[in-house]
Amino acid sequence: MPPALNRTALERVIAVINGKGGVLKTTLTANIGGMLANNGYRVLLVDLDPQGNLAEDLGYTDDDRDDTGRALAQALMFGGGAAPIQEVRPNLDVFAGGPALDQATAGLAAKANKDPDGAKLAVAHLLEPLAGDYDMILIDCPPGDETLQTAAVAAARWALVPVKSDKSSRKGLGAVAARLDAVLGVNPTLDLLGVVLVDVGTSAHVVQREAREHIAELFNADNNVVFTATVRHSEATAQATRERGLLVHELDAQVRKGPKWYEIRRGDAQAQTFAPRTASSVADDLQAITQEVVARITAAENQEALA
């Protein structure tokens, strides 16, 4: 039997979760982590998704560091330690995900028949001895894998839930709330950091307001449960970042360094390929989300210190 968990060590673990795909979970995980690391935080990202898309966002797909989730799967199934990929960016380490995590799902599901709490706490036991090396740990949860989702939120102090503003996307929030409730027995300190509206139209103010009200009602909270900052829709930016293996703020920096329109028109320079003008706006959105994550966690920690 593994030793009792030190929950204090896991106070800065965030599970980025939603039961639906296509709501920018991986985008938020990669870019919040990358921006924190760029500002001097020591950050660990955990890709729990068998699709392994975090590798595309961070640009290590198919190189010798990408084990498609084998090390992570082995540690979750059999215990013991595992080493993340070091310095994918300065200050940023990553546990790679990928198809091997399907084995972890099967192994943890079988373990749950004999030791349900042990299966739920597999990610927590992996992260606890490592957590002291990092200022923040973000877990990218798979959309449809209940076993790995449960293990992620059982390890986390905070849940961050991205959601689109339409009614269909909001339906998945009920399943998220149920998933959080299901682990409170083994993780009583788990709390909702907030809900992030993503892929929004910049002029859809009425839609955003209605979405905020519906989300607050679902979680029995006020509208503050929804982040003030949102992430706007930009298919061009999403495509360009994954084509290049760059984070949005890195793409924005490249675009800013690129040739001006008048240099291109004069024939003095060539236009960049995959260089959307929206990169700067999306980078601003993601920076605002990152700042709000830090502000919310800091405020909660200060309140706990005064209690």
pLDDT tens digits for range 282-294: 889 999 999 999 9
pLDDT tens digits for range 200-220: 876 667 878 888 888 888 887
Q: Name the 3-class secondary structure at 159.
A: strand
Q: Where are the alpha helices (DSSP H) in the chain?
A: 25-38, 54-58, 70-78, 101-114, 116-120, 122-127, 146-155, 167-170, 172-182, 205-218, 235-244, 248-257, 261-266, 279-306
Tokens linked to 59: 């640009």
Q: Do the domain assignments include residue 2? A: no
**252/258 Cα distance (integer angstroms):** 10
CATH of the domain at 233: 3.40.50.300
Q: Which domain holds residue 104?
A: 7-306
Tell me: pLDDT of 270 over 60.
no
- What is the pLDDT averaged over residues 98-102? 95
**263/58 Cα distance (integer angstroms):** 31
Instruction: Return the higher-pLDDT residue of 210 and 36.
Output: 36
- The predicted structure's pLDDT at residue 37: 96
**Mean pLDDT score across all residues of the chain:** 87
Q: Do the domain assignments include residue 174? A: yes
**281/288 Cα distance (integer angstroms):** 11
- The predicted structure's pLDDT at residue 142: 92
**168/176 Cα distance (integer angstroms):** 14
Instruction: Return the higher-pLDDT residue of 95 and 221.
Output: 95
Q: Do the domain assignments include residue 1? A: no
Work out the pLDDT band at 262, boundaries 50, 70, 90: very low
Q: Do the domain assignments include residue 208? A: yes
Q: Which of 183, 78, 169, 84 is nearest to 125 (CA)?
A: 78
Work out the pLDDT band at 145, boundaries 50, 70, 90: confident
Q: Do the domain assignments include residue 266? A: yes
- What is the pLDDT averaged over residues 68-96? 94
Q: Do the domain assignments include residue 232? A: yes
Instruction: Count how many residues are written for the chain.
Output: 307
Tell me: pLDDT of 271 over 50.
no
pTM summary value: 0.90
- The predicted structure's pLDDT at residue 166: 78
Tell me: pLDDT of 264 over 80.
no
- The predicted structure's pLDDT at residue 120: 95
Q: Do the domain assignments include residue 155? A: yes
Q: Do the domain assignments include residue 153? A: yes
Work out the pLDDT band at 134, boundaries 50, 70, 90: very high
- The predicted structure's pLDDT at residue 5: 84
Give the count of domains, the chain.
Answer: 1
